[in-house]
Every structure is written in structure tokens, then in C-alpha cells.
Amino acid sequence: MRPPKAMKKPFSIKHHQDLRRDDFYWLRDEQRSDPEVLEYLTAENQYCEHQLAPTAALQQTLYQEMTARLKPSDQSVPYFKNGYWYQQRFEPDCEFPMLVRNKQHLSAPEECLLNLNEQAEGVEYYDLAEAKVSPNQQLLAFSEDCLGRRLYQIKIKDLATGQIAEHCVDDTSGEVVWGNDSRYFYYVKKHPVTLVPYQVYRHQLGAPSSLDQLVYEEADDSFYISLHKTRSEQMIVIGAYASTTSEALYLDANNIDAQPQLFNAREKNIEYELEHFAGQFFVKTNALGKNFALIAAPEQSNHVISLPFTQWPVIVEHKSDVLLQGYELFNDFIVIEERCNGLVKLRYRHWQHQQYQCIEFNDPTYTAWLAINPEPNTSLLRFCYSSLTTPASTLEVDLTSGQQKTLKQQQVMGDFNAQDYQSERVWAVARDGVKVPVSLVYKRHLFKRHGNNPLLVYGYGAYGLSEDAMFSSDLLSLLDRGFVYAIAHVRGGEELGRQWYESGKLGNKHNSFYDFIDVTEALIKQGFGDPKRVYAMGGSAGGLLMGGVINLAPTLYHGVVAQVPFVDVLTTMLDESLPLTTGEYEEWGNPNLYQDYQRIKSYSPYDQVKAQVYPHLLVVTGLHDSQVQYWEPAKWVAKLREYKQGDTLLLLHTDLDAGHGGKSGRFKQYYDTAREYAFLLWLAEQQPLS
């Protein structure tokens, strides 16, 4: 079967006197209904299925392996809030959980708040953003997306009758915050064109959304709006966030007519997050240093609040080598989540003491995070822990005694034994001399240094998002077949603090690509993989990473999986009508500025496609993706077909029913993973190409 050949329709884009020809621009269809576009995407799907036909049995085997590792029925660790125990529970073999609660005691009769399997009936995609019980415990506000565009509809359920109210709120970000009298809630509306969350409305129960009150509108489209209720539950915070600047407003949660009060006016390159608890405002900010500090002042101390952040009382000092990630406030204790030398640390102290106690972790590479702790009047802290060899675990520590216990560890069905696997943390020296951390895992008895193990390198490297080393049960299907799996913590993430992020964005973006390539070469040199069987994978901004890497080092990798890849960077960043564009200027640059334009063009994968041999490539996307529009990977594949040399595979699979996250559902999501892993395993076995 011959590969599809997209029709070439010349289209010119001129900017800064630079004329670019885009023969495949026509693949962009905002409505996702153009018969010619859908015909092409369907043809690519058919070609992909045909080329991967030899892996059909393997895909099924992998899917069965992955789903068999999941407990047929499962439930989360229950937590207590306002007189009820809450948890999620999966019925045997169901795709979605039930949200349930028990009054006062877990032995009390169970009440089903929402059965997501019923909500998802009749739709190909389903995602629940939030489900919030009203303060009076009688109503449930929940937000759901049945298309994959991340446009959520908010509905209200009467918990006494089980009835869902007639009036819904459409096109929201999914965030819901109740007023304290349970008669109204706040939500964030998304812009109809750009999909940027930009308006805050107050909705009164029983009234149509057309009568909702506009509380706040963000005029700058580079800022996104979010909502949360403070730890004290007395205030509602409107957060306005750009990449490097933020601002907060707050409302009285007890006043149905409350108007937002500006807390501290936005100042370029100053970020802060607002919290309120026990009569104090708490602010996490970079005003005292780029790795953030925590400051606080009494609510009524207007003379302090009016001062610059640099003059506030400091709770957690800024450190040049430690990134403050988060914190949790209790009546008697404060808990700090920070990142040091690439690894997460948790420490805590009593408010009356200065000395912190640390929670110790022993794996060479791991991650930890604060769990749901809704009740501040306790000495029990819940946190989660996972490593490449340790399934996700929920633990509890008594902050008074320091005693720990495991409440739950993700159960891996079958013959899984953590002792069969080995994780390592190594450092690779990049071409400019910077040391890049790498997390590795492999099966002990299948690994031989300088042997013939296939090596899969994964990366992301953008937005300051750290790619942590977490357990993945589906990854066992590769490890059990001899693969070594590596996470390259390249610059652009925040693993080594804010500087690590800044060293991989804007004018430093090339460092992300070079780091990934240099890590791969270092791992090969150290004997972690067969040079002829090296693979790479990344999604979204990590898909951009894949596109940049294969342009720069096309023969280093035998195969690459690019998931929902952001590859048409320059054209997208020039189009302010697209979702997330203007808010991304501080990440990639503003191409309306000549210098930024040239810089983005120099690495934009679509613009840098050239006549050369490329590795085997599987590209996956979703038709309804609102983060990375489907036409970016579609155009990229069409252009690669025009330029690539040799007989390597070039495959595009578009999920016509999903968005950025792929298939929804506890089990269905593994169809996508099985396809990608089968592609890699097939290549690793050196199967002849058809």
C-alpha cells in the first residue's frame, strides 16, 4: 500500500519581508468537517493501520497485559471533610469511577454523588474537570467535557432527589467555586475564539446562565484566569497568570454581592500566588528571588500589606539552590514542598518552632507531592510518593511524632515484583559543559551494560514543568522485553530550579534540543543501550522536542514517537486567534518582533524539514485537540513525505473522537499506548519493512 500523498495547494505567509510557502496550509479546518481534510486524515489512518498490521497481535497482547495489571475494582483513599468521608470507587471493569461519600463513618451507608459511567454513556470521549459539593452538603456542581476540546459544561445535581438541574453553563474552564451560602457559584468562561479563560461570572441557582453576573474580565489576552477558595474558606481568589507575571484579586465568599478587590497590582516578571488562612494572607512569590519564597502578614495589617513584598515578614526564605514548589497550612503546622538537586523534598515544623523536620526518601530517583488534606485542624499529613520502581503510594505522617504509615499503594496485578527492577540516576554532560540529570529504569536480569538492550529516551522540557520519575505499570511491557527507559530532564523544565527553566526557553530554547541529543549520546557511551536500537518519545511541547531533535540528529534514533506534537511553531505563534498563542509569547517569543521571528523559525520543526534521512516515525494526534491543533502534525507528516529520503516508516494516526489527551477511560487509553509500544518493539526486533 502506497502512503497517502496530500495535495499541494500553494499558500504564502509573509512576515518581516520573509516569504514562506506552506503547501499544506489547507489541512487547517476550524470546523473539523471539511470532507477533503477528513478524507486525507482517514487515508493516513488506514495507511498507518496497514503498515502496523504485522503488530496487530502484539498490540492486542500489550493491551491485555496493561489492562490485566489494573485491579478490576479499585478505590481511592477516603478523606474527611465537613462531616463526610469522600472517595472515588471503580466498579469491576468500568471505564470511569463513581464519586461516593459516607456520613461521619466509613461504615455508614454509601451515597453515590455521581456515576461517571452513566455520564459518559453514548459519547466517545468523557472528562470530568471538577465535582464540588456545596457548603450545605445538598448540591453537587460538576463540569464535564464530552468532546475533548477542554470546554466544560457545568451542571448542578440535587443530592437529595438525584435530579440534575435544567440550567447548565457552557464553555467554561471547568473550575467551580461555591459561595458559602450555597445559593450561587463562580466559574470562568473561555473566550469563544482563542479558548483563553478570561471572564469570571457569578451564577445564581435556578436562573439561566444568560442572567449570570460578570464579576471580572481580563483585558490582556496573554493572561489566563483561574479560581480557588482559600484554605480559610472565607475568600475566593481570582488568579491572573501570564508566563512570568501574575496578579490576584479576592472576594468575600460570604457575600453574594461581593466585588473583587485587587490584592497587589501586576508587575512585570513578578509572580505571586495568594492564600488566606487563620487571619493571615500568605503569598508565594519570586519577588525575593527567582526560586520563590513564602511571606505572610495578618489580614488587618494594612500597613504591611501595602508594602512591597520584599518588606513582608518571611516564612520560608528564598534559596538559590532550592525551588519552593508548594506548601500546606495547618492550625499547628506548616509543610513545605521543595525541589533540591532535581529531587522533591518535604519538610515541616510546628508554628511555634523554627526547626524543620524532613521526610526521608531512599530511591535514587523519585517524586513526592502533597495529597488532599482538607482538614487543617489535625496533625496528620497525607502525601504521595512514587518512583520508577515503586507504585504510587499514599502515606500519612503524624507531624507531632514523625511516625509514618502507608494508607495505600497502587496494586499491580500479576507477578510484578519491584525487586526485579533497578532504577538509577546519572548525569550527562551537555556540549556546553552543563550537567543534565537522567532517570533510568530497567529489568535487572535482562540488562547488560554495553549489551544489546533497546533504549527509549523520553523528554519534555518546557513551561518549567518537571518531568518526574514516576511508576508506570504500562512501562513494564517494555522493561519486561529488555528495554531500558530513560527520562532526560532537559533544560526548559524546572528540575534544577527556576534557572533550569530559563535556560531552556526563549533565546535558550536550543538547549532543550541539544540536551536531549547529548543525553542520548552519553547513555549510549555509558552502555545503557544498543546504538542501533535507540528510540525517543515526547508529547505536546515534548513533541516539539522530538521534531527539533530529528532535524538536528536524524540518524541518532532508529525510531521516534511524537504525541500531539507542537511542530508548526512559527505559523501558530503568528496567529493570535488560535488558543494559547498570545499567552505563550513569554515561553517561545513574540514572532511579531524580528529577532524572535528568526529565532523561532530556526528551530520550528515544520519550517526546518529538509531533504535527509529521518528515523522511523509514528505521529499521533486528536481531531478535537484544543492545545495543539490537529493540522500541525498532519501538515508536518505531509511535508516530511515530500522531503524525507530512504525507506523509513512515516505514520500518522489521528483519533477522530478525542483531543489533546487521547482516549478517555480507565482501559480504553491503553489502546493508544499499545499501538505506540508495538511500533517500538517491532522496530527493535528489526522486522523487515513492507
The residues assigned a catalytic role are 540, 625, 660
Q: Looking at the DSSP assignment, which residues form a beta bridge with residue 86?
A: 79, 101
Q: How far is CA 479 from CA 36, 274, 282, 445, 468, in A?
A: 42, 43, 45, 11, 18
d(CA 635, CA 619): 11
Distances (CA, A) of 288 to 272, 309, 520: 11, 8, 37
Contact 47, 3 (CB under 8 A): yes
- Could you tell me the end-to-end alpha-carbon distance of the chain, in angstroms, rounded to an integer? 9
Fill in the DSSP letter of residue 99: E
Q: Rounded to an integer, what is the distance from CA 130 to the centroid of its chain?
A: 16
User: Grid coordinates in use for 333?
Assistant: 503546622
Rounded to whole angstroms, how far apart are CA atoms 162 and 113? 8
Residue with cell 499491580: 412
Task: Read off the C-alpha cell for 92.
Answer: 469491576
Q: Are 90 and 97 in contact (CB under 8 A)?
A: yes
Confirm if 109 and 102 have CB atoms less than 8 A apart. Answer: yes
Q: Count the alpha carbons within 13 Å of 640 in the hemisphere toward its beta carbon.
A: 29
DSSP conformational letter for 630: T
Q: Give the ranges where 604-646 is alpha helix by DSSP (H).
A: 631-643
Q: Which residues contact 353 (CB under 8 A, 6 or more apart)?
A: none
Cell numbers at 461, concatenated: 522540557
Q: Whose grid coordinates read 477522530?
A: 656
Q: How far apart are CA 266 and CA 241, in angstroms?
A: 10
